[in-house]
């Protein structure tokens, strides 16, 4: 579907009264896109003295981050950035960034990226002006268990913090905010108005990992509202890739990985401010550990959270029974890892049915166990976590195992030894917090709070 030759990063500007940012792009100066992001949040105070050149610098980098939502319609060989120039290190960051971020897109649509993503920059390098921030914390919140665990761990650490939502508000965000007792800062994203008509004539399958777009937008939020610590909830499992193709280790969760986090932190330090600390509080932990934390810390959220991405279609429902599609990899994965720690009654209070009794889901659970095909392109991992959890789930069935667990028993469990289970357990429940990008002052507090949580 090669329809255009060049993708242009056209311009950006900022309305200082409304705190509204605009970003423009085009294909061949023929097909134009204009995106808007509203950075005004009514319950939060903007810093008193705003330096225009700092705003301009931050926006110039956000401008390079947002374009992917439009470029993927017609992937071109050439990309011309008309608004900024960068050091070689920074250019290398973007090239690596886009190859990894678009890896799943290339794989799914059978696009060889060898001759794509050739950048050129046509403007002077922006002036970096370091700025200092207070020690306030901002925690991006979704509707899933991971951000809920971060919230509750920070409370255990006696830390004050605010929550953050990007793009749109919905009842699931509201649930988490209300139960947490915290304030939430919201910035709203408005995609280009003509995107619907372009999508209608488009044939590629696409997935836009939102985490890195949130990461870059949080930089301006950090400056405007004075937050030093940007605390994500990405876990160790996000570091592992799905498959390899076109010399790329394709990872559905690459923008949630430690590799991205470290690269991004260095980029921000070099180009924006050394005072911003971007890290994931849950980085040292596997999903199975987070499920364990959630099972004890998150009971008050049980009926009001979701980890199902298909619930994008039903975001405004007030019916907890609609929070899960009960058919996708995320639903199956979260059900399996929680089944290791919760009773059958507690599971049904969350999911509204016992997924292990649904025979139609056996192929899906086989994928999660890596019996069949590659790791699903979803925020799930890893097979050993599912194996360990399903083995523990036996406790909920005294008489006869349901069909999914019967499949697990015959195809996995009977081939495992006690020593293998012991090795899996040792790997999954190592509570070392060293392999992370967490600032040392936060690591100390986290280590102390874990002593109480793990008990």
DSSP 40-84: --TTSPPPS---HHHHHHHHHHHHHHHTHHHHTTS--SEEEESS-
Per-residue exposure over 103-116, b if at least 16 CB sit within 10 Å of its own CB, e if not:
bbbbbeeebebeeb
Question: Is 249 found in the same domain as 211?
Answer: yes
* pLDDT at residue 113 in the model: 75
Task: Tell whether 62 and 129 lie within a shared domain.
Answer: yes
Domain count, the chain: 2
Residue 312 three-state SS:
helix
CB-CB contact of 210 with 216 (8 Å): no
**Residue 439 domain-assigned?**
no
pLDDT in tens, 117-134: 788 877 666 777 888 999
pLDDT score for 256? 82
Domain boundary among 248, 280, 312: 280
Do 248 and 327 belong to one domain? no
The rounded radius of gyration (Å) of the Cα atoms in the chain is 23
3-state secondary structure of 384: helix
**Helix/strand/coil (H, E, C) string of 164-193?**
EEEECCCHHHHHHHHHHCCCEEEEEEECCC
Query: Residue-wise over 50-69: b if at least 16 C-beta within 10 A, else e?
Result: eeeebbbbbbbbbbbbbbbb
pLDDT of residue 84: 86
Assess whether 245 and 302 both reside in one domain: no
> Cis link prior to 382 (omega < 30° from 0)?
yes
In a domain, 169, yes or no: yes
| Residue 109 belongs to some domain of the structure | yes
CB atoms within 10 A of CB 197: 9
- Based on the fold, state whether residues 268 and 359 are members of the same structural domain: no
Mean pLDDT of 317-341: 87
Our separate counts of H helices and E strands in the chain read 17, 12
Q: Is the pLDDT of residue 233 over 70?
A: yes
Verify that 336 and 292 share a domain, yes or no. Answer: yes
Q: What is the layout of strands, in order, in the sheet containing 20-27?
A: 118-121, 78-81, 6-15, 20-27, 31-38, 184-190, 162-167, 137-140, 229-232, 277-280
Residue 91 lies in a domain: yes
Q: Is the pLDDT of residue 22 over 90?
A: yes
Q: Choose among 80, 93, 101, 87: nearest CA to 10.
A: 80
Closest-CA residue to 258 (of 295, 277, 284, 276) = 284
**Which of 112-126, 131-145, 151-165, 273-287 has the least mean pLDDT?**
112-126
- Lowest-pLDDT range of 21-25, 234-238, 417-421: 234-238
Q: Which domain holds residue 389?
A: 287-428
Residue 12 vs residue 195, higher pLDDT: 12
- Which residue, 280, 300, 322, sits at the end of a domain? 280
- Our CA angle for 87, 269, 102, nearest 5°, is 65
> DSSP state, 340?
T
pLDDT reported for residue 378: 47
The first and second tokens of residue 375, run together, are 């790791």
Q: Is residue 436 part of a domain?
A: no
How far is residue 387's CA from residue 370's CA, in Å, rounded to a whole number?
A: 10
pLDDT at residue 211, rounded to an integer: 85
Same domain, 100 and 225: yes
Q: Does any domain span residue 174?
A: yes
Helix axes 258-271, 88-101, angle to 10 degrees: 150
Give the pLDDT confidence of 434-444 residue by residue, as tens digits: 778 899 999 99
- Is the per-residue pLDDT at 380 higher than 50? no
Residue 96: pLDDT band (50, 70, 90) is confident
Q: Are residues 219 and 364 in the same domain?
A: no
Q: Domain check: are 292 and 247 in the same one? A: no
Give the end of a domain, one of 255, 280, 305. 280
Query: What's 115's DSSP letter?
Result: G
Position 59 confidence tier, pLDDT thresholds 50, 70, 90: very high
CA atoms within 13 A on the CB side of 435: 13
Long-range contacts of 195-203 (CB under 8 A, 24+ apart): 195/33, 195/69, 195/70, 198/31, 198/73, 199/73, 202/1, 202/73, 203/1
pLDDT at 102 over 60: yes
Q: Are residues 98 and 219 in the same domain?
A: yes
Tell me the backbone φ, ψ of residue 138, rounded to 5 degrees. -125, 130
Quick one: pLDDT band at residue 135, thresholds 50, 70, 90? very high
In a domain, 442, yes or no: no
Asked if 251 and 372 sit in the same domain, the reply is no
Q: Is pLDDT at 279 greater than 90 in this prediction?
A: yes
pLDDT at 68: 81
Residues 176 and 148: beta-carbon distance below 8 Å:
yes
Identify the H or E element spanning 250. strand 248-250
79 inside domain = yes
Residues 264 and 381 in one domain: no
């Amino acid at each position: 579907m090669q329809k255009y030759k060049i993708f242009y990063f056209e311009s950006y500007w900022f309305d200082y009264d409304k705190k509204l940012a605009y970003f423009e792009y085009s294909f061949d100066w023929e097909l134009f896109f204009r995106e808007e992001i509203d950075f005004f949040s009514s319950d939060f105070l903007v810093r008193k003295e705003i330096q225009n050149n700092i705003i301009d610098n931050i926006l110039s980098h956000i401008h390079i981050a947002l374009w992917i939502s439009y470029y993927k319609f017609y992937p071109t060989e050439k990309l011309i950035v008309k608004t900024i120039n960068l050091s070689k290190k920074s250019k290398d960051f973007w090239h690596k960034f886009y190859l990894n971020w678009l890896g799943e897109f290339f794989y799914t649509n059978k696009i060889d990226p060898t001759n794509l993503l050739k950048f050129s920059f046509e403007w002077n390098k922006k002036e970096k002006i370091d700025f200092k921030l207070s020690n306030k914390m901002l925690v991006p919140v979704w509707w899933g268990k991971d951000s809920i665990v971060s919230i509750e761990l920070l409370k255990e650490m006696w830390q004050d913090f605010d929550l953050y939502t990007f793009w749109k508000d919905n009842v699931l965000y509201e649930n988490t905010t209300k139960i947490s007792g915290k304030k939430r800062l919201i910035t709203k994203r408005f995609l280009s108005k003509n995107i619907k008509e372009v999508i209608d004539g488009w044939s590629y399958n696409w997935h836009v990992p939102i985490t890195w777009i949130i990461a870059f937008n949080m930089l301006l939020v950090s400056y405007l509202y004075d937050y030093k610590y940007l605390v994500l909830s990405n876990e160790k499992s996000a570091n592992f890739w799905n498959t390899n193709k076109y010399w790329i280790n394709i990872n559905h969760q690459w923008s949630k990985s430690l590799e991205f986090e470290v690269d991004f932190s260095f980029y921000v330090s070099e180009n924006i401010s050394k005072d911003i600390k971007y890290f994931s509080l849950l980085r040292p932990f596997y999903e199975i550990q987070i499920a364990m934390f959630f099972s004890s810390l998150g009971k008050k959220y049980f009926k009001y959270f979701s980890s199902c991405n298909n619930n994008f279609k039903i975001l405004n429902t007030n019916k907890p029974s609609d929070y899960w599609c009960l058919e996708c990899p995320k639903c199956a994965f979260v059900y399996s890892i929680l089944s290791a720690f919760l009773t059958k009654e507690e599971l049904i209070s969350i999911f509204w049915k016992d997924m292990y009794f649904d025979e139609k889901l056996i192929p899906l659970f086989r994928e999660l166990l890596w019996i069949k095909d590659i790791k699903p392109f979803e925020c799930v991992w890893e097979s050993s976590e599912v194996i360990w959890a399903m083995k523990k789930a036996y406790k909920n069935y005294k008489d006869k195992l349901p069909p999914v667990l019967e499949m697990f028993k015959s195809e996995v469990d009977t081939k495992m030894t006690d020593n293998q289970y012991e090795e899996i357990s040792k790997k999954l429940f190592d509570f070392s917090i060293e392999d992370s990008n967490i600032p040392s002052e936060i690591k100390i507090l986290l280590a102390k709070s874990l002593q109480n949580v793990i008990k």
